[in-house]
Structure 1
Amino acid sequence: MRFEMPPATDRTEGGAAAAGAGRPPMTAVFRCDADPAIGAGHVFRCLSLATRLAALGWCCTFAVGAQTQATVPALARAGFAVVPLPPDEDAELRALTATPADLLVLDHYGRDARFESACRSAFGRILVIEDAPRPHDCDLLLDATPGRTPADYAGLVPAQAGLLCGPAFAALRPDFLARRPVALARRPGRIDRVLVSIGGSDAGGASALAAEAVRRALPDAHLDIVAGGAAPGLPGIRRAVAAVGGTLHVDTDAMADLMAAADLAIGAPGSSSWERCTLGLPALLFTVAANQRANAAALAAAGAADNLGPPAAWSVERLAARIAVLAGDPHRLRAMGRAAAALTDGNGALRIAMALAGRATAANGAVTLRPAMAEDADTILDWQREPDARRFARNAAVPTEAEHAAWMAGRLAAADRVTAIVELAGQPAGLLRLDPHGQGLEVSILIAVAAQGRGVGRAALALARRLAPGRDLWAEVLPGNDRSRALFRAAGYRHADGNWLVAEVPR
């Protein structure tokens, strides 16, 4: 994972920095498209990011071409406003810039730096989601390709642009994060269930090829085949399912469940790769588009998948033999699952939201947020053991190692909560948590003793406000905790009721 933070600007570091004294909820417009030729990956990764931002109080709108809504029915079901765009690029630009917004998220191979520059007058910031280095005029750029580094975009983006590189930043829906612990724990090293999901276009009839090969190699395995309702190859997929058996899922919303239950996937190396990796699912990959080759090679190099190349190079017999060999190697199956799970943890959308929150200033350096990870468990427990760390906690007892491990596992799988490490100059300095509280979020903060007295706590609360710009923030401060009460009041919180203080979003 590589992350280069953009320098401080008035927009990223001012604005809503003071809780309760800031601005109305932030607005984001997502410009992405889908059709049977390019698939639906652009829309689904934008939906994943929009879902996370909306949970934090952002107001999100999708601006798409006419064919996109027909190709991705899930877009209409997601509950976001959808604005249809005209097919002419100049007319599209006029429509897109007619209503200013704080953020434009652009995930579109057909749009470039010229288009982005023309959007500058209407959008406070521009986030580009990309798969291969090319010039862009943006403030943040996300490229989830394994092995991608900021150096790959040197000279291609403005010098001050933030670069989010690697699959740790892949935006996934929260149900993948929630199912990760159970999915990783159940990987058996055998293949009882196979998931075939080649992509929205099913180029070259790869789904039918894979389904027949699975049935020949593993006649007793349960077979799930996923297809898009607008895929030109859907009639052929239906015939293949009728011939070999299995369950066909068209335009399904249950991909996380299907991947968690599967022992092997046959798919394409597009954005669904990171869904499989989050759940530790070994995969055989068909490359059905030129832009997928880098992902396929990187996933194979990491040991997370086998790169089969184009489906036209495979016969049913040859693919069945390949599946049979893998099914007979439980050690390799488990190793592939571990390698896949190591590439991403499903928290990419939250990492992007934290990058949008930017940084705040404290003594001795910049303060930033990042999602807590399993490897932070010992450090967090050490902070809990520091003198007076739990004196004013609801439960003053220091947790045992077993209690802390169970708490940590629950936090990491909780898609409706934020568990963030507060970093000072790139080093862990504390813990910030956001939990559901009525119509808002409850804020809890713990700053390590070594980082106290430097303004880290106040900076972290400023970042919490920017991270969740449209949610009321609540804090319970127990009697006698005068230092904490002063911290929250300095950050703009006011007394609400009993021990509670609140930072409300302006209505």
Structure 2
Amino acid sequence: MIVMNVVIRADASVQIGTGHVMRCLTLAEQLKERGTDVAFICREHEGHLCEFIRDKGFHVFALPGKDVKINEPRNTHEKWLGVPQERDAAETIEVLKTIRPDLLIVDHYGIDHIWEQTIRPYVHNIMVIDDLADRPHQCDYLLDQNFYEQMNRRYDALVPRHCSLFLGPKYALLRKEFRQTDTRVRNQLNHVLVFFGGSDLSNETARALQAIQHIKSRTLTADVVLGKNNPYKDELKARYAEDERIHFHIHVDYMARLMNRADVCIGAGGSTTWERCYLGLPTIMMTVAKNQEEIARDLSENGIVHYLGKKEDVTPEMIAQSLEQLIQHPDQLRQYSQKSVKLMEKKEMHMENLFQTILQKGDHSH
């Protein structure tokens, strides 16, 4: 049997967060289950996850952590690369020359068609994972797992004609722990999950905890998940040490269990949105990045999440009011839960189609 070689180019850092690497690890695990060899190329930024990826059983080719001033960035996030795209491409090519992968997967907002075109001679096929639709790509497959009213038109002028598109939450990259956890429709609010991603640099967690303390109900309890890159974790644990209703968890590998136990989540947009929807967990959502806003508005207009607005506009009082509303109106909680589940229907079938397509041997580039 011919084994396919896949290489993934993705980074984590304090600035970027952990989401890109985490969803690529999810994809890597599923590719490995299908008999594929998978390796990563990551730059060693502050807050990188190279060791974490190695601990999961994947080889990592580490690029040196740099922070070179990029004088004229070609796209909004090029500075996230730490070096100009041309340099990143040259350093990546040195790795690719030794592997010649069948498939290169790129999940990086700092990379666009120029980088991909430079890399093209060293790979058979290129797959891009994107959320922004804000720059052109030179790729054979593109995955955007987000929900937009106009999602089928967003990439029309941004990818080559031959590119296969996989769009919407039915293609969301969910870890095995989620796929193996039963969906549950919520009927009553007793237990809250608070999670704002791996870094939470603006400390939205503190705001959510203030809101929970506003709620008079002694039966309301909360699990609070803090990433290992969270700079406020010790301060938060100390501040709420006396509150028996609040339990802290640091950099967990049992998130599906915590989500399944919760009746509502207070959290941001981003990739955990689809994990919550898959498990039928309603969300009181605020956005912490510009690229989350349109998705949050569209989900809200479709009655799938309870969206409060951008982080700078949301107060602890607003969060507390939303909690009270869902405690007093369990029918609203149930509706959010049912609509979340419906959004993710037949997901396994769609994912199987994705894997069959991207694991075909041969050169699709034109």
Q: TM-score range by the shorter chain?
A: 0.7 to 0.9
Q: Please say which of residues 163-172 and 233-242 is displaced more in the overlay.
A: 233-242
Please say which structure displays the higher CA radius of gyration.
1
Q: 1:345-382 CA distances to partner (integer Å, 9 max, x unpaired)?
A: 55365442123146xxxxxxxxxxxxxxxxxxxxxxxx
Distance in 1 (CA, whole Å) between partners of 2:251 and 2:54 is 12
Q: Unaligned regions of 5+ residues in structure 1, if any?
A: 1-22, 359-465, 467-507
* Count of paired positions: 333
Q: How does 1:215-226 map to 2 (within 5 A)?
A: 215-217=213-215, 218-226=217-225
- TM-score scaled to structure 1, two decimals? 0.62
Q: 1:311-366 CA distances to partner (integer Å, 9 max, x unpaired)?
A: 332332332122111121111111101111112255365442123146xxxxxxxx
Q: Please say which of residues 120-129 and 312-321 is displaced more in the overlay.
A: 312-321
Q: 2:227 is matched with which residue?
A: 228
Are 1:204 and 1:312, in contact at CA under 8 Å, matched by a contact in 2?
no
Structure 2 residue corresponding to 1:355, chosen from 342, 354, 357: 357
Distance in 1 (CA, whole Å) between partners of 2:233 and 2:353 is 36
Distance in 2 (CA, whole Å) between partners of 1:197 and 1:139 is 35
Q: How does 1:387-398 map to 2 (within 5 A)?
A: none
Q: 2:140 is matched with which residue?
A: 139
How far off is 1:198 after superposition?
0.7
Q: Which runs of 4+ in 1 moved over 4 A?
A: 68-74
Structure 1 residue corresponding to 2:173, chosen from 160, 166, 171: 171
Change in 2 beyond 3 A, CA 1:291/1:54: same
Q: How does 1:181-192 map to 2 (within 5 A)?
A: 183-184=183-184, 187-192=185-190
Q: 1:203 is matched with which residue?
A: 201
Q: 2:79 is matched with which residue?
A: none
Change in 2 beyond 3 A, CA 1:92/1:69: farther
Change in 2 beyond 3 A, CA 1:339/1:240: farther
Are 1:208 and 1:241, in contact at CA under 8 Å, matched by a contact in 2?
no
Q: How many percent of aligned residue pairs carry the same amino acid?
A: 34
Q: 1:443-493 CA distances to partner (integer Å, 9 max, x unpaired)?
A: xxxxxxxxxxxxxxxxxxxxxxx7xxxxxxxxxxxxxxxxxxxxxxxxxxx
Q: 2:71 is matched with which residue?
A: none
Are 1:36 and 1:71, in contact at CA under 8 Å, matched by a contact in 2?
no
Change in 2 beyond 3 A, CA 1:350/1:257: farther
Structure 1 residue corresponding to 2:3, chosen from 22, 25, 47: 25
Q: 1:79 is matched with which residue?
A: 57
How far off is 1:306 after superposition?
1.3
Structure 2 residue corresponding to 1:36, chosen from 6, 14, 20: 14
Q: 2:43 is matched with which residue?
A: 65
1:315 partner amino acid: T
Distance in 1 (CA, whole Å) between partners of 2:263 and 2:226 is 19
Distance in 1 (CA, whole Å) between partners of 2:170 and 2:57 is 26
Distance in 2 (CA, whole Å) between partners of 1:150 and 1:311 is 28
Q: 2:288 is matched with which residue?
A: 288
Are 2:104 and 2:125, in contact at CA under 8 Å, matched by a contact in 1?
yes
Q: 2:211 is matched with which residue?
A: 213
Give yes or no for the alignment of 1:107 onto 2:97.
no
Distance in 1 (CA, whole Å) between partners of 2:262 and 2:354 is 29
How far off is 1:121 after superposition?
1.1
Q: Unaligned regions of 5+ residues in structure 2, if any?
A: 67-82, 362-366
The 3-state SS of whatever aligns with 1:105 is: strand
Give yes or no for the alignment of 1:342 onto 2:320.
no
Give yes or no for the alignment of 1:247 onto 2:225.
no
Give yes or no for the alignment of 1:127 onto 2:132.
no
Q: 1:160 is matched with which residue?
A: 162
CA-atom RMSD, angstroms? Answer: 2.1
Distance in 2 (CA, whole Å) between partners of 1:63 and 1:357 is 20
Are 2:265 and 2:281, in contact at CA under 8 Å, matched by a contact in 1?
yes
Question: Which structure carries more strand by proportion?
Answer: 1
The 3-state SS of whatever aligns with 2:13 is: coil
- TM-score scaled to structure 2, two decimals? 0.85
Change in 2 beyond 3 A, CA 1:149/1:312: closer
1:317 partner amino acid: E
How far off is 1:240 after superposition?
4.1
Give yes or no for the alignment of 1:272 onto 2:272.
yes
